[in-house]
Amino acid sequence: LYMESTEEQWKLVADERFEFPRNRIRLKKVIGGGAFGQVFAATATGIMDGETESTVAVKMLKEHASSDDFWTLVDEMDLLKKIDKHLNVIRLLGCCVLNGPPWLIFEYALHGNLQTFLRNRRRSRDAYLNVENLEFLTHKDLASFTYQIAKGMEFLASRKFIHRDLAARNILVAEHNIIKISDFGLARNINYDYYRKTSGGREPVKWMSPEALFDRCHTTQSDVWSFGIVLWEIMTYGGTHTPVYNLMRHCWQTNPAERPTFTELVGKLDYWLTRAS
């Protein structure tokens, strides 16, 4: 992609394989936002074979985004164009770069991100507050999520893509509980970019392997580390792992005297079960 003009920063050259007429998109409502981008639910006319109107998700910059943000989005778009279709990887259906700011059009994932999805389906003491009457999940559902995530990541790894931000919040759940790996804002294709390092950007510390964290060395195997954390997120229904992880490490102190007593453990676990998010 090239900038044609410096006067309007969004003047990008259209890619005919992906360009979709902006006027065939109807934005409906904001369904999500990150640090620099926002996502709308929208309808697109004639974007999918055999469907006149499809529900899609449109990702774009927020109003006061910087030029860094702009290029992050353009990088993401470029990268997504190179990823072939896979059931468990969110698909870029098209882009709008002409006559306005860049829009990325994605297939729609009905149930939103996996972290919120899991948290809304916890069997807690407050289960009766489950006003939306959401179906609870079975072990089989949880196992299916882990399998589908592994399948999606296996596919990305086979194409030499490193995700670098694999976490339940970046995984989407579509109709029939189909998993879609998403959020490629930090992803890199190692074929051309394996040496590029992040600095000052957002770094998902709690999901990062030691080599990614300390040496900025991101590989498919560091994605595997993050996958391990995602397994934890799934098994705790979207729980934050820090408290329990700290507890585990506490039990593994070399000096036995520094390990917690069972009474301390009971107290902490009780607190965790009843209060923690």
- Which residues are annotated as catalytic? 165
Pick from 90, 118, 166, 208: which binds ligand ACK (CB under 6 A)?
A: 90
The span from the CA of 20 to the CA of 31, in Å, is 21
Q: Give Cα 110 distance to the centre of its chain.
A: 14
User: Which of 44, 142, 149 is CA-nearest to residue 89?
Assistant: 149
Instruction: Please report whether residue 156 would count as binding ligand ACK according to CB under 6 A.
Output: no
* Amino acid of residue 29: K
Instruction: Please report whether residue 109 would count as binding ligand ACK according to CB under 6 A.
Output: yes
Per CB under 6 A, contacts with ligand ACK among 215-274 are: none
Least distance in angstroms from the C-beta of 56 to ligand ACK: 8
Radius of gyration of the chain from its Cα atoms, rounded to whole angstroms? 21
Neighbours of 228 (CB within 10 A): 11
Phi and psi at 162, nearest 5°, equal -105, 130
Give start and end residues of each alpha helix (H) in the chain: 67-81, 114-119, 139-158, 190-193, 210-215, 220-235, 242-251, 262-274
Instruction: Please report whether residue 39 would count as binding ligand ACK according to CB under 6 A.
Output: yes
Pick from 88, 113, 209, 226: which binds ligand ACK (CB under 6 A)?
A: 113
The residue count for binding ligand ACK (CB under 6 A) is 14
Pick from 103, 108, 161, 207: which binds ligand ACK (CB under 6 A)?
A: 108
Instruction: Please report whether residue 31 would count as binding ligand ACK according to CB under 6 A.
Output: yes
Pick from 42, 57, 60, 229: which binds ligand ACK (CB under 6 A)?
A: 57
Applying CB under 6 A, the residues found at the interface with ligand ACK are: 31-32, 34, 39, 57, 90, 106, 108-109, 112-113, 116, 172, 182
